[in-house]
Structure 1
Amino acid sequence: MKPFRTLAACLLAITLCQGCGQNPGNSNNNPEAKSQKISQADLTNLNPRLGGTPELQAGAEGNVRKPHPMSLADLHKKYPTYYVLNGPRSKRQVALTFDDAPDNVFTPQVLDALKAAGVKATFFVIGNRAEAHPDIMARIVREGHVVGNHSYSHPNLPKLADPRFREEVTRTDRIIRSYTGSTPTLFRPPYGNTDENQILWLTSLGKRIVGWNVDSLDWKGLDADQVSTNILGHILPGSIILQHAAGGEGEDLSGTVAAIPRIVKSLKKDGVEFVTVDTLLNVKRDKESNRTGSKQ
C-alpha cells in the first residue's frame, strides 16, 4: 500500500502546481487580462462624455438591442411605404448612414473621412447633442450631408408615453430646422425600436421611418477589417448601411472611421454610387434644406 500512497501524493502535488499556474487572477501569467485593462483605459480616453456630449438616455446599443415582438422586417412588411429598410434594387446605389451624432470626438473624424472620400452621407442626429455641439452640427450641414431626426435624448421609444415620445420628435425637428431651414422628413428610431402607434403618428407628419438592411455592428467596438467585412459582405443594390458617428459611454468607433475609405474605394470600383437616403428613396427636400450651414 505504501507505493500506492506515494504515487497518489505525487499526483496531488502535480495537480496543485498546475492549478496555481492557471490562476486567472494572476495578471502576470494572463496576458489577456493585461490587454483588457489597456483596452479599457483607451476607451476611457476616447469616451465622448469627457467632451461634454450628452449620454444616450436608454444606454449603449449593446445594452438595449434585444429581440422584440414585432421586428423591423415585420413593420416594414406591414408599412412598406413608410417604414423602409432599403431602397430600390434597380439602381447600383447605396446610402451610408451615421447615427447618434454629433460629438466632438468621432463625428469630426467621420466628416474628415467622408470629405476625403468625396461622398455624402445621411446623419441621424440626437437633439441634445446638436445643442451641445452646434459647430459640428453646422459642419454636417455645411458639407452637404443630409440630416435626419434620431430623437432628442435617444430613449427606448416604445417605453415612452405618447406625449413624451412626440416631444422627443418635435423638439428635435425644431433644432434641425434651425440649421437646415426645413423640417426633416427622415426619422430613425433609437435602437430601431418603435411600435405601430408611433409609426402611424410619424406618418401623419409625412415622415419616412428609416431602418437599415446592412448593419456594420461598429457599436461593438470592431476594428476596420471587421466593419468593412460586415458591410461589403452584405451589400446589394439599394442598401441602407448603418454606422455610427458617435456612441454611448466607452464605445470606440475608430474602426468605423478607418473603414470608410476602404468601403468607398471597394464599392466605387464595382460601379456603385453613394447617395443620401432621400435620393435613394426619392424623397423630396425643401430647396433650402441642408444648404445654410448656420443657425437661422
Structure 2
Amino acid sequence: MLYAGIAWTADGYVVEVIDDTGNRTTPATPWGAERVPELTEWLGTLGQTSGQRCAVVVESTNGLVDGLLTAAGLDVHRADPWVLPARPAFGSVPAIALAERARTDLASLSPLTAEGGGQTGRDEDYHDGIRRSAPIEADLTRSGRCFRHGPRDRQEIALTFDDGPDPVFTRQVLEILDRYGVRATFFCVGQHVNALPDEVRRITEAGHSLGNHTWSHPFLPDLTHTQFRLQIERTSEAFERSVDQVPTLFRPPYGARTPEALGELMADGPALALWDVDSWDWARPGPEKIATTVLDHAQPGSMILMHDGGGDRRESVEALPAVIEGLLERDLHFVAAEDLMTSSRP
C-alpha cells in the first residue's frame, strides 16, 4: 500500500509518497496551487501504475484539495491536530509526517466523503464552536459587522461564490453572470489568489466584489489565535498584490466560528459575512437539485452560498442559469454582499 501526504505552504503544496516499509517511492514533489487538477490526476495514476491502493492524507487546515480528490474517487483521509506534531504559525505539518501517520496508524485518521467534505466527522466540534461564539457574534451583529442576509422588505439578493478563483470554473461562472447582467461576490482563498492573480483581476474587471475566505480553508477550531490572524493577513496581502484592494468582508470556511476567531474580527478586522441559503452544491447532488434548493429557500434579502472553486464545480455551473432566471422572475435585484450588509445595519 502507498501513503501520500499533502502539505500546504505559502507557495502551494508538497507531496510525499511512502510505501509499507516507510521508504519514499517518489522524491518530495512541489505543486503550485493552480495545479491541483494535475496533482489529482497524478495521484490517481500513481495508484494505478503501482497496482497498490494509495491512501491520500491532508490535515484539517487544508480544505482546498479534498473536493477534487474525493470527486476523482481517491481514498482521502484527514489528520486532526491531536494525532500530529505541532504546526508552524503558517503552513501545515510536513508532508512526510502526514504520510508516516497514515502508514503507522491509518485508523486514527478520518475518511473523507464528498457529502461531508473536509469537515467530515467534526460536527460536534463545529457546533460547540458556534455555541461558544454566540455572544461575540451577537455583539458583531448589533454593531453591523456580522450579517446573514439583508432587509426582507427590499427586492435585493446577493449571489456569492466560495473557494476560488479556479482557472476553469470561475471563468465559466463569470461568463454566465455576464450573460444575465447580474453582480456577485467571490469569497476567495489566499492560496488561489496568490497563484492566479489574473483570475482575481477578471472578477473585479467584470464588476464583481471580493471577500476574504482565509488562505488554506482551515477548520477554524483547530487554529491558534496567531494562525488565524495570519490566514486573514496573508490573504489580504495577496489581494493587495493582485488587485490593489483589500476586501472588507470575511467568510469563515464551512461557516465555522470560534470565540478566538471572532474576537480577532471584533478587535480590528473585516466584517463577518455568513449566509441564509446554502445551495449544497459542494455535495454535488446534481444541478437540478442545486437550483431547486436555492429557489425553494431564497427570499428578498437572502445571501446565497455557491462555489466556483475547491472541487469539481461542474454541477454548480450547470445549475447557475436556472438559479438566476428563477430569481429574476421574482423581480429580485442582484447586489454585492457588502450592499446587503450596509442596508441591514441598525
TM range, normalised to the smaller chain?
0.7 to 0.9
Q: Does the alignment pair 1:189 with 2:252?
A: yes
Given that 1:48 and 1:104 are in contact with CA atoms closer than 8 Å, whether structure 2 keeps it comes out as: no
What is the match of residue 241 of structure 1? 304
The aligned counterpart of 1:6 is none
Counterpart of 1:268 in structure 2 is: 328
Correspondence for 1:57 among 59, 62, 65 = 62
Cα distance in 2 between the residues matched to 1:70 and 1:236:
28
User: Partner residue of 2:229?
Assistant: 166
1:62–1:110 CA distance, 2 compared to 1 (3 A): same
Q: Match of 1:152, as an amino acid?
A: W
| Other-structure match for 2:127 | 68
What one-letter code is carried by the residue in structure 1 that aligns with 2:130?
A: S
CA distance in 2, matches of 1:111, 1:48: 21
Runs of 4+ more than 6 Å apart = none
Q: Which of 163, 166, 175 is the aligned partner of 1:103?
A: 166
Greater CA drift, 77-86 or 209-218: 77-86
Name the TM-score, length of structure 2 as normaliser. 0.62
Q: 1:204 Cα shift?
A: 2.2
Identity between Structure 1 and Structure 2 (%): 36
Q: Structure 1's 256 and 187: CA in aligned 2 closer, same or farther, altered over 3 A?
A: same
Q: Assess if the C-alpha contact under 8 Å between 1:48 and 1:103 holds in 2.
A: no
Count of aligned residue pairs for this structure pair:
233
Deviation at 1:117, TM superposition (A): 1.5
Q: Is the aligned partner of 1:278 residue 2:333?
A: no
Residue 108 of structure 2 aligns with which residue?
none
Q: More strand per residue: 1 or 2?
A: 2
Match of 2:140 among 59, 72, 79: 79
State which drifts further: 203-212 or 75-84. 75-84
For residues 97-146 of structure 1, give each alpha carbon's deviation from its aligned partner in whole angstroms, at most 9, with x where no partner exists. 00000111211111111111211110000111111112211111111110
1:79–1:70 distance in 2 versus 1, CA, 3 Å: farther
8 Å Cα contact 1:177/1:184 also seen in 2 = no
The residue type equivalent to 1:63 in the other structure is: G
CA contact (8 A) 2:129 2:259 kept: no
| Alignment gaps of 5+ in structure 2 | 1-33, 41-57, 68-115
Whole-angstrom CA distance in 2 between matches of 1:48 and 1:256: 21
CA contact (8 A) 2:197 2:242 kept: no
1:211 Cα deviation from its structure 2 partner: 0.7
Q: 1:95 to 1:195 in 2, by over 3 A?
A: same
Which protein has greater RCO, CA pairs closer than 8 Å, 6+ apart?
1
Residues 161 and 185, structure 2, Cα contact 8 Å, conserved in 1? yes
**SS of structure 1 residue aligned to 2:299:** coil
Query: 1:52 Cα deviation (Å)?
Result: 6.9
In structure 2, do the counterparts of structure 1 residues 57 and 70 end up closer, same or farther at CA, with 3 Å as the change threshold?
Answer: closer
* Equivalent in the alignment of 2:191: 128
Which of the pair has more CA radius of gyration? 1
